[in-house]
Amino acid sequence: MQASYAETFQRDMGCTEAEWLGWLPRAVGQHPMQCQASSARITIGAGHLQLRWQVMPPRVIAQIRLPVLRMHFQFEGLSDPERYTFMRHFDLYTQRGGG
């Protein structure tokens, strides 16, 4: 988890597009969402988040092939605390792995 989130950033997620589309409704919580091909607009209070994603070539480590989905986040009309609150839920929901 980060301490703050910029208005615009990108990250790579280790999932397929099908997995992502399954996670997305719960990742955004109760916020209204409109999906189109490879993008979604999430209304957050008086502002919104525009998400765009692109399927990238898999990451190959020895004989392991990991899917990569490049995510572009663009917030508009949200304060730093509002972005943090949304992304805290988003990151906790989409976080994968073990330990």
How far is Cα 33 from Cα 3, in angstroms, rounded to an integer?
25
Strand ranges (DSSP E) for 14-93? 33-36, 39-44, 47-61, 64-76
User: What are 43's two structure tokens?
Assistant: 């209304």
pLDDT bin (cut points 50, 70, 90) of residue 69 is: very high
pLDDT at 96 over 80: no
Q: How confident is the model at residue 97 (pLDDT cuts 50, 70, 90)?
A: low
Read off the pLDDT of residues 23-55 as tens digits, 9 standing for 90 and up.
999 999 999 999 999 999 999 999 999 999 999
pTM for this prediction: 0.91
The pLDDT score that the predictor gives to residue 99 is 46
Tokens at 98, concatenated: 């073990």
